[in-house]
Structure 1
Amino acid sequence: MIDQLNLSKLRLAALTSSVCLYAIAAPAFAGEEVLYGEASEWVEPASLEAEAASEGPAALIMDWQHRLEDGVVTSYSDTATRIDNPQALMEHGTISLSWLPDKGDLTIHRVEIQRAGESIDVIGQGAEFDVIRREQGLEQRLLDGQLTATLAVPGLQVGDILRVTHSVTIDDQALGDEMQVLQYLWTEPWQVGFARTIVSWPEDEQIYWRAEDHAALGDPVSKDGEKRIEVTLPLAEMPEMPYDAPSRFKRAPVLRVGTYADWQELSRTMEPHFTKAAQVEPGSEIAAQARAIMAKTDDPLRRAALATQLVQDEVSYLLNGLDGGNYLPQDADLTWEKRYGDCKAKSVLLHALLSEMGIQSQTVLVKSRGGDAIPELLPVPGNFDHMIVRATIDGKDYWLDGTSAATRVSNMAAVPPFYYALPLTAEGNDLVEMTQRDQPSPTMVMSVVSDYSAGIDLPALFTLEMQFYGPQGAGFRKMADEADEDSLRQVAKSFASNNGGGAVSAVSLEYDEEEAVGTLIVTGIANSDFEWKQGRLVVDSDVAPNAAFNANRAKPEWRDIPVATNGPMRNRIIGELILPDDMTGFVYEGAEKLEANYANTRISGLSGLEGNRFSGEVEIIQNLGEIAPDQLPEVKRAVRRYASEESRLVAPEDVVWRWELDRKELDKRVAPIIAEYGKAIEFAEEDDYTPLTARAGFFHDIYRFEDALADVDVLVEKNTSADVLQWRAGILYSLGRADDAIADLQSAYDIEPENWTAMQLAELMAYEGRYDEALELLESLPISDDDSSGYAGTYATVMGLKGDTAAALAALAEETADKPQDADGLNADCWFRGLFNTGLEGALDVCTRAIERANNSAPMLDSRAMVYYRMGNYDAALADLDSALELSPGLSASHYLRGAVRLAMGDKGGRKDIDIALRISPELKARYDLHEVKVD
């Protein structure tokens, strides 16, 4: 890419062009020496008032003056800065001034220190600038040719005023007698004592000027044989713009002055350099390369693609601004010989190859960012920052970029987001709009296959394949060549952390040189996408993207501003779900065909269910462009219509849950998943415990507690935390190892003294008969308002187990009186009464209020069912338990109590509920036996 303008340097010099143009080596120039002398007669010196200098902003003077005369631009800068503190002394203690020696000179007029009313002439005392060649962009292969003069200001102190005045001349070889100045116009809230910019020229020079409306420029003033434009700075603060406004509405104010009457003149002026540089001899290496391409194919499209690929792959990028500057191109022959060049060199070489093959082409100037503003700007070369080639084949324009990558026939018709191009032609050319069209091939294709063969409430085995085409995929070439196990593991770790759990078992990277396609393949295990909603397991179809169009033009001053749309982009997303073979009755609710068109976005897709496979495919095409303000209401309506289209895959009502399967059947189904977890653990980095954590969680979810414990033991040893210790405590308790569980909870509490951990610990202690320890722990806790309901419930349980139900009920009554609308506090009261079979006379009212106020009423329904059970109202208890399990099918306590109720009613089917409950939570038997909930 071409050098960008460095706006931070605009304080010191005119903003001159930075198109990546340069010349071949030449002898040293006189401009390589720093000159010292007086400022030109046309300079209007700024005065520094002593009183004003002692207060206000530290920047006292910022004065930029430019003179255009006889093909030479002289830029004068005068700065005065008060050194208020040591930080300012560090920042301004060394002066750095840059210039291009092949184009002109740097002249120092003054380096002066003002101290206590006296002036110290630093240069007059013998100080001199040192000259260095400054190549800060070398790592980006940028040689800009600048020299930098530096001076560590001797004797500068805090409290001094440092004033520096200098000029830089530019006599650009490429422009001939043409001239240009681009001066950034600072705006508030920038603070300065005095700031201005002046541009002047002799009256007999034909000069043009333009700036943004915000600058409110008047006509030049004529005086003493010259014309001049003067702007007082800073300008008023730029008006706020919506984030999605086209870039031309958000561009910074710049004063542009130049000698080009129109774009045609600019085109004519630049063309000879590029035409000459592209000329090659019949026997040259370039001609031989063209002949070799022509021998491969007769198709001009394929020839153009092969020529572009040759320039992209065989010529490395190097911006060489040495000896000739940014506007002169390197000859095509030299570029091929050296095998490096910038955008100009690459474009000239590509133009030469195409010309040799008889393909019509032109080098064109473009602006890589903010190109939509180009027609509004004054025609000067500095408006552009990049060069590409326009090839015309069968009447169709192809915009070919030698500095890009992976151009092939399949994607070469893509139009880059530059908006406008200026072809360089002998007769002169106007701007050409780079009309957008649908991208000819995808930018990215993502395919995901999720295998739910084991069950839809279990994790899925997945294979994700992402293919990146053209420039987006070019980076995969190096990655694929260098891919080692460590880098692939890093990809896996990042993928797992960004996708909400699961584990990655393998990652591969490939690059197809012929098709310019980079492919990433990831396999592993992902959490189930099926969710329990309204009594059914469903997965929302997310193959189609969410509609997003949030343009806001409510402010009156924004109502005439269009909305910019992103692009060009073309993505395809393919999804497939493999459903269990033994399950039938899945239903797809939604349109099989999707079509949407809004905001320069077009979406089309197909979805359907066939046998045990659900598949969907969608393509999204976005084009660069704008939405006119008067079109916004209709666009928003179109987006809402699209967003209202819902689709989902619904599982049958008689779905078999994992807890309904016996141990043998469940183990058979999950064997492939466990094997994949094993691969993921083996593949992971040594210190990456994500797959091990995922497998431990899976073992826990399928009730293989010993296996879960083995994995969590490793986590405790290698990657311990309060959370891991709490997790192991729960597993140990399920295995009947209460003392070990208490020890782990104590350790967790020691690491992170959270109230919730302490309450769990206190309850386990109480169930083991350690009432006094439990109460001592609870009494030590700092209870906030958010913790009060949990605390009251835990305290009541401890006191109830100790035998003091009156104290327990009193604590709960106090909590519910203090928070009569709190569902958690009401539920704690309801649950205690049912569990301890006490205070039943007022329990139902409390329970019902808890249900009515809950967001998720399943636990509250379970609590009320316990109260009904104690009252002997088995029908009511059963109804509440059915409702609770409809909301939360895996609620083990509700399964257990429902089993007890059914058995009490003489329904032996209750034994199945008991088996399910103990499969999920083996500890329930001992606990409910203690509370005399009979199941035998």
Structure 2
Amino acid sequence: MNDKTSVRVMRKTLLAGSAFAAALSSPAMAGEEIIYGAAPDWVEEATLDADVVKSGPAQLLADWQYRLEDGVVTSYADMAFRIDNPQTLMQQGTISLGWLPDKGDLTVHRVQILRGGEGIDVLGNGTEFDILRREQGLEQRLLDGQLTATLAVPGLQVGDILRVTHSVTIDDQALGDEMQALQFLPAKPWQVGFSRVIASWPQDEEVFWRAEEHAGVAAPVTKDGESRLEITLPLAEMPEMPNDAPSRYLRNPVLRVGTYADWQELSRTMAPHFSKAAQVAADSPVAEQARAIMAKTKDPLERAALATQLVQDEVSYLLNGLDGGNYLPQDAEETWEKRYGDCKAKSVLLHALLSQMGITSQTVLVQTRGGDAIPELLPVPGNFDHMIVRAIIDGQDYWLDGTSAATRIANIGWVPPFHYALPLTTDGAGLVPMTQREQSSPNLVMSVVSDYSAGIDLPALFSFEMEFYGPQGAGIRQLVDQGDEDQLKKIGKSFASQQGSVAVRSVAIDYDDERAVGVMKVSGIAASEFEWKDGRLVVDSEVGGDASFDANRAKPEWRNIPVATNGPSRRRILAELILPHEAKGFAFEGEETLETSFANTVVSANNSLSGNRFAGEYEVVQVLGEIAPDELPEAKRAVRRLASKTNRLIAPEDVTWRWEVDRKTLDRRAEPLLAAYGEAIAYADKDDFGPLQERAAFYGDIGRFEESLADLDTLVEKDTSAWVLQWRSGVHQALGNTEASLADFQRAYDIDPNSGLAITFAERLGYAGKYEEAFEILDGLPLTEEEEPFYAGTYAIVAGLSGDTARGLEITKEEVADKPQNASALNGDCWYRGLFAVGLEDALEVCTRAIERASNSAPMLDSRAMVYYRKGMLEEAKADLDSALTLTPGLAASHYLRGVILLEQGDKSGQEDIDIALRLAPQLEAEYAQHGISPK
């Protein structure tokens, strides 16, 4: 039977639904010449309605008719299009008709142009189709033997109507006297002037038919010894269905007509071809291979795994659809000799090997997509798109696919997601459920080690390893064989980027053929996972990971529809965090062990903290299946219970931040990290500046601004952008290079003159004493409502720096009056008053309102502290600064002002705060000095 790749070829024949493509057809004895002639006598010719021709949709006619008689199926198609525009002329101007010459004939009945009420017979002047043998699927190893008749319609013009009528016959060698026809039934909103499907057969033929309930097809009418079934198209619009419904609820209607009374008859009819093809002589090479496998092991399951591996690895895939090959298999001996074959050939070979070893097996038909619907369908071969082998060992079913890859003893028990199989047996068999079972081995194991030895607020060295098992691992094998370093880098970086901001310094892949495991290893350096929350550095993770189940059955018409679950799969994630060697006081809060299930999913976890190492293991096992509607509430509750659980690794309260560490110690800690950044930069492609950006940022984070500037110089040279220029401007500012800083900002603003840049640039100009230039940028600047508070605050600061503090205060007050509940506007007013020591009498009320309305109140607390400081309320100012630094420990301005206050109070520890602030933002000393604030 056709496998999942070749099914498209078959469906082009069986499920005609587009212009000039019909379905099923072609007798065995005919051939490669096109027949030109009249339509068969049984055809009921459709007429073109004048009103439809004039004002109907562009597709005027789509008439499909099928005749089943004496083992031959004839499909007739009559199509008409109005050529409304040049695009339609291009689309319909070339006719393509396909057929299989070993199974039947193509007969062209009509190619006609209707123009101005007159008909032009395109074929009447001797015009003929060209015949092409184009194996369009050859790159997918498909050789289907189809011929294509093509005709560029001469003289076709916009405004014409093109009508093409043809028929194709099929007398399939594999089916004998049996017949089948399948026709897709289009539904609204498809528009057509007139469309129908007719199927007919002599009354004495035993013919069965079935279509989905939505089609509403009436029983055939029998008259004058003929049975006739007719469906008017398009059908009513398909009802909306939830995306997570089983595929049988989502399938489109198809009319199936055939002569098989039941699945047993279909099995019995097809079986002889496959049993005969699997017969091999005792002294044949195939039997010799079976004996070689038997010599390696006595275990029948191991033998089955080795036989499957042999077929997968030693026989390449090629669909041979010539000479009846779509349903007829290649002999096992021929397949081994040629070392190629399709799913039928590979299954027959595998069946032959297993039989030689005394292992009970059968070739079986399966549907790779939508297999859960098979029991509801009319028994015809066209329901299936693939063939595999069913082996029965110690009473257990094993489903072996010769066209897959990497089958080994560890994964031979995996059950493919095909739902049902039809064994082909001499006595005939019914459908067999492919009962799912939990996978005993994983598809994927992912291990991540993050090394925080340098400090938990610094980047971590990471190693990232993924093990892909079974068919997924075979994909890694291809990468190993190709040895494409550039592709390898891209794939490795793509996987690593899922861990956040990373710089990759190495990617390596390997394939263990014996275990069929593909391994990808990535190493590099990544941003810290620790976040500052509620006064502690923590790493939070959801216990359930990405577990979710949000099936929606709220609509009344959906309430009885089950939910399909994904699978089968088994994924395991292992994570290890190496904490600083001197780490003490870390704590773990959460689920040390977990075992829970919901919606055919089992989740288990184990977590432990020992010394300076935290280890976590997380596994998810999913089973293909369905959840009944009455089970949905409990499944959702189970997911919510799982989602409510959180694991948290908590750093001690007295953690030392990088800005609190002396220069020498910090440099020592940074040394391995900088080495890793250097390796990542060297490993990166020439146009990949990500690692260089990461290192430049890291240099800035540890206060080594000169080295950050050097990296930024390279970035500006190699990859100039407004963002990089603005970044370098900030580093120049930190180093006191005022003119260089302004020059970079000017270039950034010239490249990207957006309002946000303009506002920041104007403030920089103001502090540099270039007031007129600052006002020139600000005046007339287009603003969004969100930008207005920041604009007002900057305009006020520039005015205050120029000496007009009254004007500045007036601007911030007006903004607050306009937006009395806006935290940014309130903070701008509060900050201005404190910075310039004006309007202090009612400033605290404004500041407090800003704090109350802020989602992150740290900047607002810092602003109010400045007002307190100006009013001489030092303890109150210090309390606000303590609160701000509890929320945002790295707030340089708060450190600076707190240091100033402590020194003024005679507390020499204030110098430590001053030092921290200037490590973080050296420019603060000069800026605060302009406002008369300096350490004493």
Q: Give TM-score, length-normalised by structure 2.
A: 0.97
C-alpha deviation, 1:267, in angstroms: 0.3
Q: Residue 724 of structure 1 aligns with which residue?
A: 724
- Does 2:101 align with 1:94? no
Residues 222/488 of structure 1: CA separation in 2 closer, same or farther (3 Å cut): closer
C-alpha deviation, 1:446, in angstroms: 0.2
Contact 2:505 2:681 in 1 (8 A): yes
SS in 2 for 1:466: strand
SS in 1 for 2:829: helix
Q: Residue 355 of structure 2 aligns with which residue?
A: 355
Q: Residue 419 of structure 1 aligns with which residue?
A: 419
Structure 2: stretches of 5+ with no match in the other structure: none
The aligned runs of 1:170-209 (5 Å cut-off) are: 170-209=170-209
Q: Which shifted more, 829-838 or 485-494?
A: 485-494
SS in 2 for 1:31: coil
Contact 2:24 2:168 in 1 (8 A): no
- Does 2:272 align with 1:265? no
- Give distance in 2, aligned partners of 1:301 and 1:799: 85
- Does 2:927 align with 1:920? no
C-alpha deviation, 1:598, in angstroms: 0.2
The aligned runs of 1:407-806 (5 Å cut-off) are: 407-495=407-495, 498-542=498-542, 544-806=544-806
**Alignment-mate amino acid for residue 30 of structure 1:** A
Which string of whole-angstrom CA distances, capped at 9 and with x for unpartnered residues, describes residues 544-574 of structure 1?
4232111000000100100000000100000
C-alpha deviation, 1:29, in angstroms: 4.9
C-alpha deviation, 1:124, in angstroms: 2.2
Which string of whole-angstrom CA distances, capped at 9 and with x for unpartnered residues, describes residues 359-407 of structure 1?
1100000000000000000000000000000001111110000000000
C-alpha deviation, 1:760, in angstroms: 2.2
Which string of whole-angstrom CA distances, capped at 9 and with x for unpartnered residues, describes residues 818-843 of structure 1?
11111111111111111111211111
Which string of whole-angstrom CA distances, capped at 9 and with x for unpartnered residues, describes residues 340-366 of structure 1?
100000000000011111111000000
Q: Give TM-score, length-normalised by structure 1.
A: 0.97
Q: Residue 17 of structure 2 aligns with which residue?
A: 10
Q: Residue 391 of structure 2 aligns with which residue?
A: 391
SS in 2 for 1:119: strand
Q: Residue 44 of structure 2 aligns with which residue?
A: 44
Which string of whole-angstrom CA distances, capped at 9 and with x for unpartnered residues, describes residues 608-657 of structure 1?
11111111001110010000001101111111111111111111000000
Q: Which shifted more, 313-322 or 906-915?
A: 906-915
Contact 1:830 1:863 in 2 (8 A): yes
Q: Residue 84 of structure 1 aligns with which residue?
A: 84
Q: Residue 813 of structure 1 aligns with which residue?
A: 813
Identity %: 68
SS in 2 for 1:894: helix
Q: Residue 22 of structure 1 aligns with which residue?
A: none
**Alignment-mate amino acid for residue 9 of structure 1:** A
Contact 1:546 1:643 in 2 (8 A): no
- Give distance in 1, aligned partners of 2:416 and 2:28: 39
- Give distance in 2, aligned partners of 1:263 and 1:38: 37
Contact 1:812 1:825 in 2 (8 A): yes
Which string of whole-angstrom CA distances, capped at 9 and with x for unpartnered residues, describes residues 745-797 of structure 1?
11111111122222222222222222222222222422332221111111111
Contact 2:762 2:774 in 1 (8 A): yes
- Give distance in 1, aligned partners of 2:90 and 2:767: 69
SS in 1 for 2:786: helix
Which string of whole-angstrom CA distances, capped at 9 and with x for unpartnered residues, describes residues 233-266 of structure 1?
0100100100000000010100111110000000
**Alignment-mate amino acid for residue 295 of structure 2:** A
Q: Which shifted more, 659-668 or 80-89?
A: 80-89
Q: Which shifted more, 492-501 or 33-42?
A: 492-501
- Give distance in 1, aligned partners of 2:584 and 2:685: 41
- Give distance in 2, aligned partners of 1:299 and 1:546: 40
Contact 2:28 2:170 in 1 (8 A): no
Contact 1:699 1:705 in 2 (8 A): yes
SS in 1 for 2:55: coil
Q: Residue 377 of structure 2 aligns with which residue?
A: 377
Q: Residue 213 of structure 1 aligns with which residue?
A: 213
Q: Residue 141 of structure 1 aligns with which residue?
A: 141
C-alpha deviation, 1:485, in angstroms: 3.3
- Give distance in 2, aligned partners of 1:398 and 1:16: 34
SS in 1 for 2:608: strand
Contact 1:61 1:194 in 2 (8 A): yes
Residues 84/403 of structure 1: CA separation in 2 closer, same or farther (3 Å cut): same
- Give distance in 2, aligned partners of 1:17 and 1:734: 79
- Give distance in 1, aligned partners of 2:859 and 2:813: 19
C-alpha deviation, 1:492, in angstroms: 4.4
**Alignment-mate amino acid for residue 831 of structure 2:** W
**Alignment-mate amino acid for residue 631 of structure 2:** Q
**Alignment-mate amino acid for residue 163 of structure 2:** R
C-alpha deviation, 1:500, in angstroms: 3.3
C-alpha deviation, 1:51, in angstroms: 3.7
**Alignment-mate amino acid for residue 856 of structure 2:** N
Q: Residue 57 of structure 2 aligns with which residue?
A: 57
C-alpha deviation, 1:915, in angstroms: 1.1
- Give distance in 2, aligned partners of 1:158 and 1:716: 56
Q: Which shifted more, 575-584 or 492-501?
A: 492-501
- Give distance in 1, aligned partners of 2:911 and 2:346: 80
C-alpha deviation, 1:30, in angstroms: 3.0
Contact 1:13 1:168 in 2 (8 A): no
Q: Residue 903 of structure 2 aligns with which residue?
A: 903
Q: Residue 333 of structure 1 aligns with which residue?
A: 333
Contact 2:24 2:74 in 1 (8 A): no
SS in 2 for 1:182: strand
Contact 1:103 1:325 in 2 (8 A): no
Structure 1: stretches of 5+ with no match in the other structure: 19-26
C-alpha deviation, 1:932, in angstroms: 1.9
- Give distance in 1, aligned partners of 2:349 and 2:436: 26
**CA-atom RMSD in angstroms:** 1.5
Q: Residue 23 of structure 1 aligns with which residue?
A: none
**Alignment-mate amino acid for residue 423 of structure 1:** P
Contact 1:594 1:603 in 2 (8 A): yes
Residues 365/663 of structure 1: CA separation in 2 closer, same or farther (3 Å cut): same
Contact 1:738 1:764 in 2 (8 A): no
- Give distance in 2, aligned partners of 1:593 and 1:155: 77
The aligned runs of 1:238-257 (5 Å cut-off) are: 238-257=238-257
Which string of whole-angstrom CA distances, capped at 9 and with x for unpartnered residues, describes residues 559-617 of structure 1?
01000000001000000000111121111000100112000000111001111111100
C-alpha deviation, 1:731, in angstroms: 0.6
- Give distance in 1, aligned partners of 2:214 and 2:264: 27
- Give distance in 2, aligned partners of 1:498 and 1:300: 42
C-alpha deviation, 1:424, in angstroms: 0.3
Contact 1:13 1:76 in 2 (8 A): no
SS in 2 for 1:458: coil
